[in-house]
Amino acid sequence: MAKNKLQLPPLKNKKPVWASLGFMGLGQLLFQQQYVKGAFYTLIELLVLINSHHFIKAITGLITLGDPQPDLPIRQRPNSIFMMVEGIIFLILLALFILLYISNVRDAIKTQRNYERTGHYPGTRAFMSSLADTSFAVVGLSPAMLMILFFVVLPLVFSAMLAFTNYSSPHHIPPANTVDWVGVENFQTLAGRSLWAGAFGRTALWTVLWATLATTTCYVGGLLIALALINKNIRFPNFFRVVYILPYAVPAMLSLMVWRNLLNGQFGPINRMLMEWGWISQPIHWLSDFTLARTSMVVVNLWLGFPYFMMLITGVMTSVPKDLYEASQIDGANPRVQFFKITMPLVLYQTMPLFIMSFSYNLNNFGAVYFLTGGGPTDLATTQSGAGATDILMSWMYKLTLDLRQYNIAAVLSILVFLVIAPFAIYNFSRTKAFKEGEL
Amino acid sequence: MSTMSYKKKRQPLTIGRLFTYLLLYAILLLVVIWVLYPLLFTVSSAFSLGDSLAGLTVYPFQQELGLRQFERLFQDTNYLQWFTNTLKIATVNSLLSVTVTTITAFIFSRFKFTAKKPLMMSMLILQMFPSFAGMIALYILVWRMGLLDNHLGLILIYAAGNIPYNTWLIKGYLDTIPRSLDEAARVDGAGYLTSFWRIILPIARPMVTFLAITSFTGPWMDFILPRLLIKTDSKKTLAVGLFELINGRENNYFTMFAAGAVLVAVPFVIIFALNQKYLTQVLASGAVKE
């Protein structure tokens, strides 16, 4: 959008602008005959001023998080976490107020400029009619904006802040104790040589390895099946396709819990079957051996995930324009050349974005861990850190929050995880039609 | 489904080729068994009479069949309650999401106002955050609002979390509807609400339907949030109820769990089968870069 930026002459009379800068709405009210608008602005500022002690109290609370008062009964002790949430709410209100203040000054400038050009101020009637338009927008937007502020922005700000506190069990859980700001201590804990750092290193490594293995196996598996079924010599390809698509149609959570039972070390039918056939004499610990559990996870995920890529790749292969093949045939290309020079490049090119998205999905594939292995098997270090052998960052975070109440470490993890997936999210979104075509 | 292949016709069989195809069929059949076994085993467990995993035959449908597990499920657990809870949450979430999102998208698409650009950009950034990032705060917030153990808290969080992404989605669609249409209606004296309701919504129906369906199916198998916020058993959703039914006591409850799982999975598979063509298109269009 090329905007024609005109060099505007400086305002002759700056008094209203200064007045509005000093007290919201004053310029509009005293100099610009904007009574309704001015009164609205003034009222808001008055409301904020009257309630300023609430603002001050909430924001001081956010800064100090309360002093420990062990002699008070527990119910009356300052609750740092509530103070934090309230502090953030008032911070948001303050930010909104500042935005309104800025809009008030800009409005004063605009009105004044208009006046100096045309020689009169817009009347109340003109303002009221423009208000009808604005009020529809304001009323229509406010539910969405309020919901986003409270249930999306506030929680995100809160958990980002938690990363810099010591909110954790057993010594810093309100209401019995207070929580304090500790700077970047939690980040140092994870980067240092402590038990936490060990658990973090192992989990982070497995998260990346897991996402790579899970995505690649599903992609290659789906590709191979799609290739086999598109072959003209294979009979009943649609029968195979319908069967193979079933794992995709069943909710993954249910399938994972079924697999957990199939692979049960004691009573699982898979072990019993293998023993019946005489292949093994002892039950195999599918989900309770370090390496086996990780392998089982990848294989079960292949069961869940290959149908998606099979469907996708089949779709791409059947939509390759026929004339490409015909033209290449005239040029003397045999099926093999056609396959490697036309089909495969097209399939790879068109499915690569979905491969990348699938990778970022697997980085956070909570279900594949939690419902199958529950993060286990555990080892000695697990008792304190909570991270089992198959835990990925996401499932570890869940355990830290719900079972171990190590909220500070969980918050650091959520920041780190966000930093890792943000590029994928940006990439993903930049591809969507809404982003490419939509104007801001 | 037509399968256009790069090969023009079947090739004549030679011994080598015959061998290759036999091998290929063998592999395909093994995959069929691998895919079907867990599903058939679950269905057969759901109809078994025994209560333990250890007592089930290894091969599906080799034991006596009956409806005992379904009776247990309905009598001993709150399964029906979980089902209606989830249905309720999914329906309300769908309605709420559609209402709030379409109006928001309409305003972003048709109005000009001061902070429009920054607002759109912040929504773009917000939709990148995974919902679990604010888990602890959501818990405290819902607790302070007195909505803990209450479906309303869950619904509000579901609906709010999806606003940013869906607004972009719907706004992008509304932008493609010519402005002249609703402006003409406004000239004829229709208010914003009327032109939105009568002109825009009917044209945007495919997108609105898509939004309604995704926000309906979303809550069915969501686990983390309901596990966090709902404590009373009779208020639980299906995913949490089923999970806690067998968690830690696999052996004695697997068959009952299987019955519950079959009851949820069957409608899912049917819906999938009905939408399969549409779904393939959506997937394919996602794959094909314009």
A29-38 pLDDT, tens digit each: 888 888 888 8
Say whether both B49 and B93 belong to one domain.
no
Which of A311, A322, A402 is closest, CB to CB, to B4?
Answer: A322
ipTM for this model: 0.86
Which tokens sit at A27?
A: 């310029």
The answer to whether the Cβ–Cβ distance between B123 and A230 falls below 8 Å is no
**Choice among A143-157, A379-393, B252-266 with the minimum mean pLDDT:** A379-393
How many other C-beta atoms can be found within 10 angstroms of the C-beta atom of residue A126? 10
What are the two backbone dihedrals, phi and then psi, of residue A265, each rounded to the nearest 5 degrees?
-65, -35
The answer to whether the Cβ–Cβ distance between A315 and B284 falls below 8 Å is yes
Which of A152, A246, A343 is closest, CB to CB, to B6?
Answer: A343
pLDDT tens digits, residue range B58-82?
888 888 888 999 999 999 899 999 9
Region for B236 from its dihedrals, namely left if φ exceeds 0, alpha if ψ lies in -120 to 50, beta otherwise? beta
The answer to whether the Cβ–Cβ distance between B172 and A136 falls below 8 Å is no
Q: Which residues pair with B65 in a beta bridge?
A: B48
Say whether both B90 and B204 belong to one domain.
yes
Which of A153, A246, A401 is closest, CB to CB, to B135?
Answer: A401
Query: In this predicted structure, what is the pLDDT of residue B6?
Result: 45
Residue A342 pLDDT level (bands cut at 50, 70, 90)? confident
pLDDT tens digits, residue range B69-116?
999 999 989 999 999 999 999 999 999 999 999 999 999 998 888 778
Say whether both B163 and B286 belong to one domain.
no
The answer to whether the Cβ–Cβ distance between B41 and A150 falls below 8 Å is no
| CA proximity to A392, closest of A145, A169, A199, A104 | A199
Residue B236 lies in a domain: yes
Q: Which domains are seen in chain A, by residue range?
A: 15-67+77-130+140-185 (no CATH), 190-435 (1.10.3720.10)
The answer to whether the Cβ–Cβ distance between B134 and A152 falls below 8 Å is yes
Say whether both B202 and B269 belong to one domain.
no
Cβ-contact A37, A28 below 8 angstroms: yes
The answer to whether the Cβ–Cβ distance between B3 and A433 falls below 8 Å is no
A24 in B contact zone (CB under 8 Å): no
A79, A136, A287, A437: best to mutate for the B interface, most B CBs within 10 A: A136
Which residues of chain B make contact with A371, given a CB cutoff of 8 A?
A: 243
Say whether both B29 and B143 belong to one domain.
no
Query: In this predicted structure, what is the pLDDT of residue A4?
Result: 53
- Cα distances (Å, whole numbers) of residue A378 to A114, A282, A382, A413: 72, 21, 6, 20
Say whether both B126 and B206 belong to one domain.
yes
Which residues of chain A make contact with B220, given a CB cutoff of 8 A?
A: 251
> Scanning every residue of chain B, which has its alpha carbon at the shortest distance from the alpha carbon of A259?
B38
Residue B54 pLDDT level (bands cut at 50, 70, 90)? confident
Which residues of chain B make contact with A316, given a CB cutoff of 8 A?
A: 284, 287-288
Residue B4 lies in a domain: no
Which tokens sit at A132?
A: 């009808």
Residues 6+ apart with CB under 8 A from B196: B102, B103, B106, B182
Say whether both B186 and B271 belong to one domain.
no
| Full-model pTM | 0.85
Which residues of chain A make contact with B193, given a CB cutoff of 8 A?
A: 136
What are the two backbone dihedrals, phi and then psi, of residue B64, each rounded to the nearest 5 degrees?
-65, 145
| CA proximity to A43, closest of A1, A97, A94, A85 | A97
Say whether both B102 and B240 belong to one domain.
yes
The span from the CA of B70 to the CA of A74, in Å, is 48
Chain B nearest C-alpha distance from A121 (Å)? 21
Q: What number of residues does chain B have? A: 290
The span from the CA of A10 to the CA of A12, in Å, is 6
**3-state SS string over chain B?**
CCCCCCCCCCCCCCHHHHHHHHHHHHHHHHHHHHHHHHHHHHHHHHCECCCCCCCCCCCCCCCCECCHHHHHHHHHCCHHHHHHHHHHHHHHHHHHHHHHHHHHHHHHHHCCCCCHHHHHHHHHHHCCCCHHHHHHHHHHHHHHCCCCCCHHHHHHHHHHHHHHHHHHHHHHHHHCCCHHHHHHHHHCCCCHHHHHHHHHHHHCHHHHHHHHHHHHHHHHHCCHHHHHHCCCHHHCCHHHHHHHHHCCCHHHHHHHHHHHHHHHHHHHHHHHHHHHHHHHHHHHHHHCCC
Chain B nearest C-alpha distance from A194 (Å)? 24
Residues 6+ apart with CB under 8 A from B110: B174, B179, B182, B192
Q: What is the mean pLDDT of chain A?
A: 87
Work out the average pLDDT over B183-201.
85
- Cα distances (Å, whole numbers) of residue A86 to A92, A159, A354, B85: 10, 14, 41, 32
The answer to whether the Cβ–Cβ distance between A259 and B140 falls below 8 Å is no
Which of A136, A264, A398 is closest, CB to CB, to B192?
Answer: A136
How many other C-beta atoms can be found within 10 angstroms of the C-beta atom of residue A416? 17
Which of A246, A247, A434 is closest, CB to CB, to B169?
Answer: A434
Q: Which residues of B105-115 are buried (b: 16+ CB within 10 A; e: fewer)?
A: bbbbbbbeeee
Say whether both B233 and B116 belong to one domain.
yes
A39 in B contact zone (CB under 8 Å): no
Say whether both B20 and B50 belong to one domain.
yes
The span from the CA of A397 to the CA of A363, in Å, is 13
A144 in B contact zone (CB under 8 Å): yes
Query: In this predicted structure, what is the pLDDT of residue A432?
Result: 67
pLDDT tens digits, residue range A114-130?
888 888 887 777 777 77
Helix (H/G/I), strand (E/B), else coil: A261: helix
Helix (H/G/I), strand (E/B), else coil: A300: helix
Helix (H/G/I), strand (E/B), else coil: A165: strand
Q: How many domains does chain B have?
A: 2
**Residues 82 to 101 of A: which have CB under 8 A from any B CB?**
82, 85, 99
Work out the average pLDDT over A61-72.
83
> Which amino acid is located at B42 in the chain?
T
Chain B nearest C-alpha distance from A140 (Å)? 6
Residue B284 lies in a domain: yes
Say whether both B237 and B121 belong to one domain.
yes
Tell me which long-range contacts A121-125 makes (C-beta under 8 A, separation of at least 24): A121/A32, A121/A33, A121/A34, A122/A34, A124/A35, A124/A36
Say whether both B88 and B172 belong to one domain.
yes
Query: In this predicted structure, what is the pLDDT of residue A143?
Result: 92
pLDDT tens digits, residue range A157-170?
998 999 999 998 88
User: Domain of B287?
Assistant: 15-76+258-290
More confident residue, B89 or A321: B89
The answer to whether the Cβ–Cβ distance between B35 and A303 falls below 8 Å is yes
Query: In this predicted structure, what is the pLDDT of residue A88?
Result: 92
The answer to whether the Cβ–Cβ distance between A151 and B280 falls below 8 Å is no
B136, B145, B177, B256: best to mutate for the A interface, most A CBs within 10 A: B136
